[in-house]
Chain A
């Protein structure tokens, strides 16, 4: 069963007076429970594709079906609800609040749904434990954690609301090889728990973790 269907997606960006065509008629289907890698050179359009899948960015033309629902034109709060409950994000630069604790960062997505205030802390702690962060690190400001620990916090934040899809943009890009391997193991484990994982990367060494690899170049799937 398809969880993501992209049909003829076009995306352009303004550059001065001209427009840069980032995605050209991209069509892609992802099955529920897949672990997919999107590979390509820098500037090929892979991050743009991920942002569109994550409803972080719009597109000029085409159609996007998510879990059978057409999400091509959604209202602000509708796409916010999907980002909150059905998609988790992990970025190379973590996108964490550096001065806040690991615990608060993981609690954050629950601030924007109906999870009770009192349950948030317990659930965040459980999720941090699940991704392998030591309990002594929970209350530390994120800025004091190592790269690998930060990425675990980011993953915990991505999965705390139990989304179906996890989108990761170069998740091991800022990590050493051992941390990188550990993070990929976490993703693999999440995939085993039937999460759909899409990872944008140019790191060929971790290609063994994926069910499928698609390559993108010059805004087209090749």
Chain B
């Protein structure tokens, strides 16, 4: 029975090869534009989500020391001195910034080694070193792809002046689109988009006194931007004093509320700019696919009236109609699922125009939901165009 049904399903496209190909293409485009639309929305939401997922970020401020991020090392001593003073304040729980530790070579390419606090990395132990004394490293998705988590690895970390050989253990690997603070932008309208970066080509270590000792403190370059986390329960007045002190010392500051408000504003603007085109593509291709289905049903009406004459019930006609269109929809979904998986597993190989589209495993469910939704509409079309017409009506209209 399966062979018979398959044979009839294939024959659905026999006299409509071009229309069938067009319908298949439109299904692919429709599904892809839906994934793009949701992917762009997801990208915007991801920044907000990643920022809010930093522990205790709601009682933090984001700062920049000095006016120019590329001012060199002139301010370094003063900067560390001021940070040290600030950290003495009872309402300051932690000061967190990024340290550049040098580079290692992976497949003839330089990979940055970056140190950050455990709370910013979202991973790591208190010391950043495992029980065997190996430094824990966390990889961006594109680094050491031939190695697995728990593998041990010898790293030769180089700065301009010296090289350090370290035995490390791979303790984690970031998924694509895992945004972490980039610490390389500050603006007076600071938002999550400025703050967070999708790191590539990077090895992370947890910034602790122990790891700093191993990696040689002298060669670390601290970012001039960072977070100050206030302690839980500290008074507003105490925090204000610290902020005033920071202002006086040459810091620019953005509070959590400022960043959230700026992010919301920018997200709305980004969505206004980014959504209309894929939305329009989605709506147009969706409508076009429905029209194409109507045309194809009409084209096959004559054939199905002959099938009916030969003993095909109307119910089974719906099944065959639906399967014939469904197979095209399903194939398109398989192609889009393959694109999703490719982008998930090889994020660095994505084409440029797909960089801001966030792919997720949820895409597979979305494709399924869309396919079911489209098939329901098609079923409705079949009922409207076919169910109400008797064989006699179709024969009189189509066969004469």
CB closest residue in chain B, given A104: B11
A112 touches B310 (CB 8 A): yes
Indicate which residue in A95, A96, A100, A112 contacts B311 across the interface (CB closer than 8 Å). A112
Chain B residue nearest to A83 in the complex (CB): B311
- Taking A56-B392, A97-B303 as contacts, is the C-beta distance between A80 and B399 under 8 angstroms? no
Name the interface residues of B304-338: CB closer than 8 Å to any CB of A.
Answer: 305-316
**A84: interface (CB < 8 Å):** yes
Within 8 A of A (CB), among B89-118: none
Question: In chain B, what residue has the closest Cβ to A112?
Answer: B311
- Choose from A51, A56, A93 the contact partner of B399 (Cβ within 8 Å): A93
Question: How far is it, in angstroms, between the C-alpha of A95 and the C-alpha of B312 when the chains are bound?
Answer: 15
Q: Are B15 and A157 in contact (CB under 8 A)?
A: no
Size category of the B interface is 20 to 34
Are B306 and A80 in contact (CB-based, < 8 A)?
A: no
Residues of B within 8 A of A77 (CB): 313, 315-316
The reply to whether B310 and A83 form a contact with Cβ atoms under 8 Å apart is yes
> Distance in Å from the Cβ of A128 to the closest Cβ of chain B?
16
For A85, list chain B residues within 8 Å (CB). Answer: 311
Smallest CB gap from A78: residue in B: B313
Q: List residues of chain B with CB within 8 A of the CB of A97.
A: 303, 306
**Known contacts A93-B399, A95-B399; is A111 also within 8 Å of B310 by CB?**
yes
What's the least CB distance linking B387 to chain A, in Å? 10
Q: Is the CB of A76 within 8 A of B314?
A: yes
Report the count of interface residues on A (CB-CB < 8 A). 27
Contact status B316-A95, CB under 8 Å: no
Point out which of A80, A93, A113 has the most chain B C-beta atoms below 10 A from its C-beta: A80
Residue from A57, A80, A100 within 8 A of B316 (CB atoms) = A80
Cβ of A81: which chain B residues have Cβ within 8 Å of it? 311, 313
B4 within 8 A of A: yes
Nearest CB of B to A169, in Å: 10
| B174 at interface by CB-CB < 8 Å | no
Considering the complex, give the chain A residue whose CB is closest to the CB of B6.
Answer: A117
Interface residues of A in 115-132 (CB under 8 A from B): 117
Bound Cα distance A219, B310 (Å) = 27
Minimum Cβ distance to chain B for residue A181 (Å): 25
Q: Closest approach, in angstroms, between the C-beta of A78 and any C-beta of chain B? A: 9
Query: A161 to B310, alpha carbons, bound, how many Å?
Result: 10
Tell me how far the C-beta of A101 lies from the nearest C-beta in chain B, rounded to whole angstroms: 12
User: Could you tell me the distance in whole angstroms from the C-beta of B5 to the nearest C-beta in chain A?
Assistant: 8
The answer to whether A76 touches B315 (Cβ under 8 A) is yes
B158 smallest CB distance to A (angstroms): 69
Pairwise interchain contact B313-A95, C-beta atoms closer than 8 A: no
Question: Which residues of B have CB within 8 Å of A95?
Answer: 305-306, 309, 395, 399
Whether A56 pairs with B309 at a CB distance below 8 angstroms is: yes
Complex: chain B residue closest to A98, CB-CB: B302
Contact of B392 among A51, A76, A113, A161 (CB under 8 A): A51
Is B3 an interface residue, CB under 8 A from the partner? Answer: yes
Distance of A184 Cα from B394 Cα, bound (Å): 28
Q: A56-B391, A57-B390, A95-B399 are in contact. Are A113 and B313 (CB under 8 A)?
A: no
Is B400's CB within 8 Å of the partner chain A? Answer: yes
Q: Is B389 an interface residue when CB atoms closer than 8 A count as contact?
A: no
Whether the Cβ atoms of B311 and A84 lie closer than 8 Å is yes
Checking A76, A83, A99, A161 against B309 with a beta-carbon cut-off of 8 angstroms, the contacting residue is A83
Residue B279 is within 8 A (CB to CB) of chain A in the complex: no
Inter-subunit contact A108/B306 (CB<8 Å): yes
Known contacts A95-B399, A99-B15, A89 near B309 by CB under 8 Å? yes
> Closest CB-CB distance, A14 to chain B, in whole Å?
11
A83–B314 alpha-carbon span in the complex (Å): 13
Q: In the complex, how many angstroms separate the beta carbon of B25 from the nearest chain A beta carbon?
A: 24
Cross-chain contact A111 with B4 (CB below 8 angstroms)? yes
Interface mask (A176-190 → B, CB under 8 Å = 1, otherwise 0): 000000000000000
B-contact bits for A58-101, CB 8 A (1 contact / 0 none): 00000000000000000011011101110001010101110110
Q: For A112, what are the chain B residues with a Cβ–Cβ distance below 8 Å?
A: 307, 310-312, 316
CB of A53 to closest CB in B, whole Å: 13
B395 nearest CB neighbor, chain A only: A95
A-facing residues in B276-318 (Cβ within 8 Å): 303, 305-316
Residues B8 and A111 in contact, CB atoms below 8 Å apart:
yes
- A115 CB to closest chain B CB (Å) equals 9
Check A109 for interface membership: any CB of B closer than 8 A. Answer: yes
Identify which of residues 238-286 in chain B touch chain A, using a CB-to-CB cut-off of 8 Å. none
Task: Give min CB distance, B168 to chain A, whole Å.
Answer: 62
> What CA separation (Å) do A117 and B5 show in the bound complex?
10
Alpha-carbon gap, A84 to B333, bound state (A): 36
Q: Which 8 pairs from chain A and chain B are nearest by CB?
A: A84-B311, A80-B313, A109-B310, A112-B311, A77-B313, A117-B3, A83-B311, A108-B310
Residue pairs across A and B with Cβ atoms less than 8 A apart, 16 shown, are A76-B313, A76-B314, A77-B313, A77-B315, A77-B316, A79-B313, A80-B308, A80-B311, A83-B310, A84-B312, A95-B306, A95-B309, A99-B15, A112-B307, A112-B312, A112-B316
- A-B contacts besides A76-B314, A97-B306, A111-B8, 11 pairs, CB < 8 Å: A57-B392, A77-B313, A80-B314, A83-B308, A84-B311, A84-B312, A85-B311, A93-B399, A97-B303, A109-B310, A117-B3
Residues of A within 8 A of B (CB): 51, 56-57, 76-77, 79-81, 83-85, 89, 91, 93, 95-97, 99-100, 108-109, 111-113, 117, 157, 161
